[in-house]
Structures are given as structure tokens and as C-alpha cells.
Structure 1
Amino acid sequence: MAQKITDIPVTIETPAIKAKKKRSIAMGAAFLMAMAAVGPGFLTQTATFTGQMGANFGFAIGICILVDIVVQLNIWRIIIVSGKRAQVIANDVFPGLGYVLSFLVAVGGFFFNIGNIGGAGLGLNVLFGISPENGAIIAAAIAVKILIVKNALKAMDRTVMLLAVIKVGILAYILAIMKVPYAPAIHHTFMPTQINFYSIVTIVGGTVGGYISFAGGHRLLEGGLHGKENIKYVNEGALTGIGLASVIRIMLFLAGLAVVITGAKLNPANPAASIFQSAAGGFGYKFFGLLIFASGMSSIIGSTFTSTSFLDYAVGGKQEGAFKQYRTAFIIAFIVLSTAVFYFVGNPAQVLVVVGAANGFVLPIALTILLIASNRTKIMGTKYRHPLWLTITGWVVVLFMAFASVETVINLVH
């Protein structure tokens, strides 16, 4: 006898189930942002500047964390309340501005992705002895598979969460076997004897600027969260991501400082590897391989997802379907081109530092656009008021980063 339609159990989404789903989306956004922020570029930049500045680099790490809080809370909130991607918001602020923002973010994301793929390839080289170039091809193929499967968002979330556990576990082990100079690190973080604006612009740009600023907000939108009623999940996701990224930043800085303070010199060709070799010899070098592979993979995913999301100007209806039709092609092209550049050009270590500085220049531009949008009822709605403290601190960050960027240019010229 055929089963009656009324006999088929129906799953009813209770408020608790809906809240659980939204929290899951927020955590996915948190881990995506956090892991994108601490990729191979961050490893290289942190090792490079710790080698040059010692404990004084803690001041730049501290500034980076403060800027991260202000930038992420502002950008995530503005994107979700408006229900629009950053480039669409920019076009609403001034016609054509969204295309400029997309260009700046996508180009920066592309160059970072070259380093991300190179980092993952280097990790496979350290772990299994295959060439970094062939390792890069393998890493690229894995990333493409994760990003184009049927349930890509879920696969992406689970992958970056696993990679986060690997990163924290490795750094915790390295710190456990080293003699970490906590006192000098804390002292010079709050009372530096040397302030290097280039290091600040680079580390902020490499871990907060460019595509990384928008990774979480765009992931929330992709998961279906938008509107003022979802601000709670914006705060949960942003603060979780910032906290996780900050912990990893501090751990890597302390590991590098523990090596530098002994008088050891980091290899400029691969400064991050020097930290792990000094800490645990050949075993530590293998750990470095696993860490940079995890960092590279998580950042390939974050960079590709966010950079290609800037090609989507749809605001609903048929437009969204048209973009989704070509999304797979965009993802594959982005990763293949990044891999090809690495394969034929080679070691991107210096590129990662320079691109980090360039993204530091993009940050005040991008944040300015969204802060202007935050007070426009046409974009945000008539019932929303952006918190005054976020507006004020947001403009402070814009002014500080603009000043630091100009100082960097002046110092480089002279």
C-alpha cells in the first residue's frame, strides 16, 4: 500500500535549529577569515620582521590585533545589515567605485595566492621530498576539488577547521620545547624601543587588508545570513575569528623571538623554516613542512573564495543564477593561473612581503568606502544606526593606516 503524503515525517525548523545553523555558518566564516589571515605570507612576514626587530615586532603584532578588531567588526556588520557584497555597496556609494575595489582586492588576492600555492608546494616538498613545483600542482588540484564539490561551503568550512587545529597544535608543541622570552616580548610590545611603519603596514596588510577583510562577511552572505536581526552572529563569528588568528599570530611571534634572542640568524630565503629547525632540528623542519602546507591550503581556499566573490555583482533574482553558472570556471582559472605563475617564476617569499605592504594601502581605501556606506539609509535601511564607537575607531584606523602607508613610501624612497 502506498504511503500517504501525510504519513511522511516533516522536519520542522524550530528556533533552536535555526540558531544552530546560523551559528555554524558564523563559525565557518570565522575559521575562513582566521586561516586566510595566517597563511604563508604571515609566516614569512612574521619571521622576517622578528629576525630584524626582535621583541619590538610585538608592537606591530599588537597594532595588527587592534586593527583587526575594528576592521572586521565594521566590515562584517555593514555587509550583513545591507545584505550586499562589498563591491555592490561600493557601487551604491559612487557608481563605478565597486569595480575599482574589486580590481584592488582581486589583484592583491591573486598575488597572495601565488605565495599560498608556493607555500603549500613547499610543505609537500619538506614532507615527502617532491619538488615544490609539483607539490604546488597537487595542492592546487586539492583546493579546486574542495571548492567545486556539490556541498562546497560545508567542505570548505570543515577543511579550514581541520587545518586550524593542525596549525595551533604544531605551534603549541614548538613553544613547549623552547625557552620563550615572555618578559621581553611583553615589555617591548607595550614599550617598543623601535617602531617600523613598514613592518606595521606589511603585517596589517598581510593579515587584515585586501581580500582577508571581506572573507568572513562574504562567507556569511553566501550562507544566507543578512539583515539587522543577524548582527548577533556577525559578532560571534568576527570575534571568534579574530581571537583564533590573534592566538596564532602571538604563538608564531614568540617562537621566532625564542630563536632570535639566542643570537641565531634566520635564513632570508626561508626565515620561517629557520625557526622550526633551530627549535627541533630535522624533526622541527618536518613540522614546518606540515605547518606551511596547512597554512598554504587554508589561504588558497580563503583567497580563491573571496577574490572570485568580488566578480559577483548580483543583487538577487536571475543575476545570481547567471554568476553561479560561471563560478566554477572562475575558481579553476584563478587557481590555475596562480599555480602557473609560481611554477614558472619560483620562490615567492619576497613577493609575499611586498604584496602584504600593498594590501596595507588598500585597507584604508576599502574601509573608507564602507564607513561612508554605513551612514546611508539607502544602503543600510532606515531602522539601522551604525554604532558610534565602531564609526570613530574605524576612522581612526583609516587615518592611522593612511599615515603609516605614506611614512612607508617616504622611508622607502629615502
Structure 2
Amino acid sequence: MADHTMITNTSKQQKQKGKLGIILGAIFIMATSAIGPGFLTQTTVFTEKFLANFAFAILASIIIDIGAQVNIWRIIAVSRKRGQDIANMVVPGLGYFIAILIVFGGFAFNIGNVGGAGLGLNVIFGVSPTTGAIISAILAIIVFSLKEAGKAMDLIAQILGGIMIILIGYVTLISNPPYGEVIIKSVFPDDYSILFLPMITLIGGTVGGYITFAGGHRLLDAGITGEENIPYVNRASILGILVTGVMRVLLFLAVLGVVVANHKLDPANPAADVFKIALGDLGYKFFGIVLWSAAITSVIGAAYTSVSFLRSLHPFFDKYNNYIIMAFILISTLIFALVGKPVKTLVLAGSLNGLILPLTLGSILFASRNKKIVGENYQHPTWMIIFGFVAVIITAYAGWVSLQGIADLWK
């Protein structure tokens, strides 16, 4: 009897450990999907332009991101349905429209992600960016060819996410930014109105498009769903945003410390210049590691999540899911080899991605009170719905204002 009890307890511990691993994987898949080459570029460009005032945009975006992501992940978990299926039940055909937007948006971003991975290996080893992109794409394809692709994806996201935080944190310490001014400006910036474009860009890059569904769909695929798992889903959704936020804050502080010391960043590769100015040639290698880590995890996350929006459109996509993911990565790589990715394009892509959020989040919020979707017993918290609609209104308005800012930035 004692042996049976011991085996049962061991089995429960293994299941709990497995669940924790999946939840951590979902947290880092979402976070590292957001932390791509565009993340590094956008944060650096806006920090140089707005200085300590950019802290307000970061803080506001983190609060809005949490409101958006908690709502989305909870409804996915409770309904046991993917985002596009939920939207279709709210308005017939809406899910298909959202799926098309997200798949094409994810595809465009993945071209930049593959390019970023190529540039990362170029910095580290000196290979050409195209060669580096091909090598990185092959590695990403290998991940999805494995029998335990989900576990491999989770582990890679956690390890590379940790490496990025450590390296950028070290650069932040060396650059010695003005912490006191940052704290003040995070609440009282010089001009609130000029921060709409950076705020919507950060939101778009963190929970816009496919990104906020990355972790939610990962939990769904792993079977962590239903009301009994809501506490896990809540914590995972918030921690995913906070991991991204920590990374954003550290990079912002590192850039700010360099810029306030009167260093002018190279517009062709501003993020790399920050690392090089702070730590010399070693810093440049650090940047290569950070860039490659950010890019390869985003390649994996973007491909996995974008293709997940196709799985319910036709049985073919569900049956050959991993093969379609591999094709997604392969085609992105081929297009990068022919097109490339300028800095301003990444900033523009982040801004436009943020314009999708009011549509996706809005459909989720309407679904939260639809008993056919969430079940008869589930009651979505009213305060959460209010929080979500505030996020919808702010992002819709900020997105409209940002369209004018995008035109100015492009000049």
C-alpha cells in the first residue's frame, strides 16, 4: 500500500512538473515572440527620440498589455477554442478575417525575424546575413521536425529568453542611466500627446497581431484549459507581459544611459551601436547573441502561432500542422534573401500590428458573456471586461493618431 501511495505521489509530482514546464514555456513563447528584431529596433529608436519621456509609453503599454492578454488567454482557456473560432462564433466570418490578417501579419514579421537571425550570426561569426538566415531557418525547422516539438520549443524559449535578459541587464549596469529622471517621467512626461505613436507601437509589438495568442494557443494545445486552470492561466498571462516588460525596461535604460552621455547612434543599426559604445567589441558580440536569440525565438513563435490560426479552417492544416510551420519558415527565409528589412519598416510593422488589437480583443470581450462560447457556469469578471474595453478604446484611438505619426516618421 505504501508503495502504491509513493507511486501515486510521484506520478502527481511529475504531472505537476510537466504542467509547470508547459506554463513556463507559454510565458516565454509569448514573451520571446514579442522580443524580436523589431522590438530591439523600436525600443532603441524611440528611446533616442523621446529620452526619459519614453518611460511613460512603456509603463502605459505594460498596463494595457496586461488588460488585453488576461482577457484573451482566459476566454481561450475557458472556451477551449482558438482565437479565430471564438471570433467566428461572435460574428460569422470575423474569425476568418482575423485569421487572414494575423497570418499575413505574422508572415511579414517572420521575414524580419529571419533576417534578424541572419544578422545576429553575421555579428557573432562573420558569416553573411543571408547565410546566417538560412542556418537559423534550418535550426528552427529542425525544432518542428522533432517528435516532442512542443517541449523543445518551450525549452528553447526559456533558455534564450534568460540569456537575453542577463546580457541586456549587464549593459544597463554599465551604461548607468538616470534612474531618478526615469521614475519621474514614467508618470509625468513633458508631453503626453507625442507618446501615442510609441505607445501603440509597443502595444502592437507586444500583444498585437499573433503575439498575444502565442501563449494562449500553446496552453490550449497542451490541454491546460477549463475553469479549474484559470489561476494558472491568469499568472501565466501576466508573467508573460512582465517578462517582456522587464526586457523592454532594461533595453530602454541601456540605450538611455548611452544617449544621455552624448553619443549619437548609427541610424543603420542603432541597437548594435548601444552595445558597442557601452562595452566595445565585446558589447558588439553580446548584441549579436541577443539579436540572434531574439530573432530565432520569434521565428519559432511567429510560425507556430500564425499557422495555429489556420488549423480550424480545414482538416488539412490540422493534420499537417508541423509541416506547414516548416514551410512557413522556409518561404519567409526565401523572401528575406530577395527583399531585406530596413529599420523604418520594422517600426511601421509594429504600429500597424497594433491596429489589429482592437478587433481581436473586442471579439474576445463580446465572447466573454456568450454562454454558447464560455459555458453556462463561467462568469467573466466585470472589472476585467471594463479593463479590456478601456484597452480597446485607447488602442483604437492611439492607432488612429499614430497613422499621422507614421507618415512623419517615414519622412
How many residues are aligned here? 402
Counterpart contact for 2:173–2:254, Cα < 8 Å? no
Is the partner of 2:267 in helix, strand or coil? coil
CA distance in 2, matches of 1:349, 1:411: 16
CA distance in 1, matches of 2:329, 2:277: 33
Letter in 1 for 2:258: V
The structure 1 residue matched to 2:167, chosen from 131, 152, 170, is 170
Counterpart contact for 1:23–1:233, Cα < 8 Å? no
Letter in 1 for 2:33: A
CA distance in 2, matches of 1:240, 1:197: 25
Pairing 1:336-355 to 2, within 5 Å after superposition: 336-355=330-349
Instruction: Report how far residue 14 of structure 1 moved.
Output: 5.0
CA distance in 2, matches of 1:16, 1:378: 35
Does residue 360 in structure 1 map to residue 357 in structure 2? Answer: no
The structure 2 residue matched to 1:66, chosen from 59, 63, 68, is 63
Counterpart contact for 2:117–2:132, Cα < 8 Å? yes
Q: Which moved more, 1:366-375 or 1:170-179?
A: 170-179
CA distance in 1, matches of 2:199, 2:310: 30
Aligned residues with identical type, % of pairs: 48
Is the partner of 1:196 in helix, strand or coil? helix
Partner in structure 1 of residue 280 of structure 2: 281
Does residue 269 in structure 1 map to residue 268 in structure 2? Answer: yes
- Deviations along 1:88-132, one digit per CA (max 9) or x if unpaired, are 111111111111010111111111111111111101000010001
Deviating beyond 6 angstroms after TM superposition, the runs of 4 or more aligned structure 1 residues are 9-13
Does residue 207 in structure 1 map to residue 206 in structure 2? Answer: yes
Is the partner of 1:177 in helix, strand or coil? helix
Q: Which moved more, 1:192-201 or 1:129-138?
A: 192-201
Does residue 260 in structure 1 map to residue 254 in structure 2? Answer: no
Instruction: Report how far residue 176 of structure 1 moved.
Output: 2.3
Does residue 132 in structure 1 map to residue 126 in structure 2? Answer: no
CA distance in 1, matches of 2:341, 2:240: 29
Long gaps (5+) in structure 1: 1-8
Counterpart contact for 2:111–2:332, Cα < 8 Å? yes
Partner in structure 2 of residue 401 of structure 1: 395
Partner in structure 2 of residue 4 of structure 1: none
CA distance in 2, matches of 1:13, 1:95: 47
Counterpart contact for 1:27–1:240, Cα < 8 Å? no
Letter in 1 for 2:51: G
Letter in 1 for 2:225: H
Instruction: Report how far residue 400 of structure 1 moved.
Output: 0.4
Counterpart contact for 1:22–1:233, Cα < 8 Å? no
CA distance in 2, matches of 1:26, 1:179: 34
CA distance in 2, matches of 1:356, 1:411: 13
Question: What RMSD in Å do the two structures reach over aligned CA positions?
Answer: 1.9
Partner in structure 2 of residue 42 of structure 1: 39
CA distance in 2, matches of 1:207, 1:271: 20
Long gaps (5+) in structure 2: 1-5
Letter in 2 for 1:148: S
CA distance in 2, matches of 1:123, 1:17: 37
* TM-score normalised by L of structure 1: 0.93
Instruction: Report how far residue 208 of structure 1 moved.
Output: 1.7
Does residue 249 in structure 1 map to residue 248 in structure 2? Answer: yes
CA distance in 1, matches of 2:10, 2:353: 42
Q: Which moved more, 1:51-60 or 1:235-244?
A: 235-244
Instruction: Report how far residue 199 of structure 1 moved.
Output: 1.2
Counterpart contact for 2:112–2:340, Cα < 8 Å? no
CA distance in 1, matches of 2:348, 2:61: 17
